[in-house]
């Protein structure tokens, strides 16, 4: 298990760039340089991070409403406001959560945050090695695969190239799960416009990865799982009618989405 990899502050990290865009403090100059490109050169693009985060909060609420009490958050990123365990425990105090990320600083900060929470843990592992994650001691301790689980891929699968077979990663967990388990995916969606091309090029240049996918390609990631209503839609419009008091709202009627808000889509599926 890769639990003690040192942090290279000279190289940007996807998790730390995301933290910076959300207003966090756990980032370095290299991360801020990438984040500032999105803030300054692609004005309005930060809405992607915020609409994705708000949809994730709604997804956790929906999972708990449907009976899920244990969660695997794949590619969780750095702790921020309303983490999965915080949202879940407001509704299910004994909810169990395992966060998975490959950034060593995520491990460090996550462990500090969760030092007194025995029912929530963060582990350092690679998303594309699900078998290793499945055998991790904390996963085996906290997650009972004989009961339904909630598996979260929030803005992570688009960081896997096609040759890394993201659909097989989802299928692995679907095969591990029992019926009525839920799977949530949010993913960059191809917009066929200059904004999409600029953002995708920045990620490819910086991290050597980042794959925008069409709606059909994202839907294919769910495989044999049953996609629930309203299907795959922009995150800013996913389950916004749900009455959740602590989820930020913009306006009171149908929103006019920006080009950036249209570039991140999500959906939830059930194992039958």
pLDDT digits (tens, 9 = 90+) for 17-35: 878 888 888 788 998 998 8
| CATH code at position 166 | 3.40.50.150
Q: Are 87 and 60 in contact (CB under 8 A)?
A: yes
Asked if residue 2 is part of any domain, the answer here is: no
Asked if residue 159 is part of any domain, the answer here is: yes
Asked if residue 19 is part of any domain, the answer here is: yes
What pTM was estimated for this model as a whole? 0.87
What is the tally of structural domains in the chain? Answer: 1
Q: Are 69 and 119 in contact (CB under 8 A)?
A: no
Question: Residues near 17 by Cβ (< 8 Å), separated by ≥ 6?
Answer: 27, 31, 34, 35
Among 271, 164, 162, 156, residue whose Cα is nearest residue 223: 271
* Three-state secondary structure call for residue 244: coil
Asked if residue 3 is part of any domain, the answer here is: no
Domain span at residue 226 reads: 14-270
Asked if residue 4 is part of any domain, the answer here is: no
Q: What is the pLDDT of residue 2?
A: 41
pLDDT digits (tens, 9 = 90+) for 198-249: 888 887 888 877 888 999 999 999 999 999 999 999 999 999 975 444 444 4
Question: Residues near 29 by Cβ (< 8 Å), separated by ≥ 6?
Answer: 9
- In this model, does residue 69 exceed pLDDT 60? yes
pLDDT digits (tens, 9 = 90+) for 121-175: 999 999 989 999 999 999 999 999 999 999 999 999 998 999 999 999 999 999 9
Cα-Cα-Cα-Cα torsion 112, 84, 248, 27, nearest 10 degrees, comes to 40
Q: Are 149 and 68 in contact (CB under 8 A)?
A: yes
């Amino acid at each position: 298990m890769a639990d003690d990899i040192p942090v290279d502050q000279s190289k940007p990290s996807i998790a730390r760039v995301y933290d910076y865009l959300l207003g966090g403090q756990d980032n370095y100059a290299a991360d801020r340089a990438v984040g500032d490109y999105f803030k300054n050169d692609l004005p309005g693009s930060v809405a992607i991070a915020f609409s994705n985060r708000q949809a994730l909060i709604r997804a956790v609420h929906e999972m708990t409403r449907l009976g899920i009490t244990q969660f695997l958050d794949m590619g969780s990123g750095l702790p921020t406001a309303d983490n999965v365990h915080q949202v879940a425990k407001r509704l299910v105090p004994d909810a169990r959560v395992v966060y998975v990320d490959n950034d060593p600083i995520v491990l460090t900060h996550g462990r500090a945050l969760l030092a007194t929470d025995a029912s929530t843990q963060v582990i350092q592992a690679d998303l594309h090695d699900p078998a290793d994650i499945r055998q991790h001691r904390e996963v085996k301790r906290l997650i009972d695969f004989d009961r339904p689980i909630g598996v979260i891929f929030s803005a992570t699968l688009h960081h896997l190239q096609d040759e890394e077979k993201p659909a097989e990663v989802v299928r692995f967990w679907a095969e591990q799960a029992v019926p009525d388990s839920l799977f949530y995916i949010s993913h960059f969606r191809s917009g066929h416009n200059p904004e999409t091309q600029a953002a995708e090029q920045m990620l490819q240049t910086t991290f050597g990865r980042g794959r925008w996918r069409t709606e059909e390609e994202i839907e294919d990631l769910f495989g044999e799982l049953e996609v629930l209503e309203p299907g795959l839609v922009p995150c800013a419009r996913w389950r916004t009618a749900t009455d959740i008091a602590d989820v930020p709202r913009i306006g009171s009627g149908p929103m006019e989405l920006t080009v950036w808000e249209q570039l991140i889509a999500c959906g939830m599926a059930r194992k039958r």
